[in-house]
Amino acid sequence: MSAVIIDGKQIAADVRAGVAERTSRLKERGVTPCLAVILVGDNPASVSYVTGKQKALAEAGMADRSVHLPGNTTETDLLKLIDGLNGDSSVHGILVQLPLPEHIDENKV
């Protein structure tokens, strides 16, 4: 059996193009997909990941509802925010960037 070379960059580009096409079709029907990205605190790696997500959303033509909360945000306040976003019909997905500060229980979130 011979080895198969997999071009990960090309596969990723194809996936992104497919997502952009599906997003375009949804927009033609009046729906702009929206992802809410919640970042609590200023972990440098998390900030970088969220920036990458925002760039990918823009390239796909999706709406970005990013919320950057201070590191001392309470678990209760974070859960209230998530509940509010969950009730917003213009938001189609919610992503909470991990890790969360130690005082917030990731299992509850």
Q: Which residues are catalytic?
A: 46, 53, 97
Provide φ and ψ at 47, rounded to 5°: -60, -40
Residue 62: closest CA among 95, 107, 31, 18 = 31
What kind and span of H or E run contains 36?
strand 34-40
Q: Residue 6, SS3?
A: coil
DSSP 72-98: T--HHHHHHHHHHHHT-TT--EEEEPS
